[in-house]
Amino acid sequence: MQTLSFIKGLMKSKMPNKHQQSRRSFLRHMGSLTAGLAVSSTALGNIKPAAFDKTLMFKNLHTGEALSTTFYAAGDYITESLDNINYLLRDHRNNQVSAIDPDLLTLLYNLKKALRTTNPFHVISGYRSPETNAMLSQRSNKVAKKSLHMQGKAIDIRLPGIDIKHLQRAALALQGGGVGLYTRSDFVHLDVGRVRQWGS
């Protein structure tokens, strides 16, 4: 409505009467106005909303280590925070450290938001070295020989105060990758591979 009023005002000021203003002159004025409005619209379109910070909390059940860290802020990942997460989620059997896929961290963040929890994720297994994974797969047929844990794309977790099946359902709703339910061992497996589910 303000733009329309402005155009009407321009027409009155530039066209006192029909005999003093030619049609060509009027169109020239209108063209200038339209260009100005287009520039303003483009400038507004380039203004991006402030990026949300993404924070996660972990407790490694094997080492007792805890971490609360903001891994994403101002539209980018924070290297120091990622390094701290990589270390906390290391293979606790041989202390090998590997990069955790940022997509997995984002999935965990989305899960935390969906569950509206401020509790830390209790970590049963994060990164697994090939040696550890080979040893575990020999002990149990439930451990994949080409597990995504070896690529830093998988994590086994539980959440204090959240029923394990509720945790599984929330993870499935995100459609972010694989979700495995292990009720006997009381944890949920999450990965950023193809969308699929298993377990009971």
Domains of the chain as residue ranges with CATH? 2-45 (no CATH), 54-199 (3.30.1380.10)
Share above pLDDT 90 across residues of the chain, in percent, rounded to a whole number: 69
Confidence check: pLDDT of 131 > 80 = yes
Average pLDDT on 47-55 reads 69
Average pLDDT, the chain: 83
Question: pTM value?
Answer: 0.74
Confidence check: pLDDT of 8 > 50 = no
pLDDT digits (tens, 9 = 90+) for 160-192: 999 999 999 999 999 999 999 999 999 999 999
Strand order in the sheet with 154-158: 76-77, 66-73, 54-60, 121-125, 154-158, 187-191, 178-182, 196-199
Confidence check: pLDDT of 13 > 80 = no
pLDDT at site 74: 93
Average pLDDT on 65-90 reads 97
pLDDT at site 15: 44
Half-sphere exposure of 82 (CA within 13 A, CB side): 16
pLDDT at site 117: 95
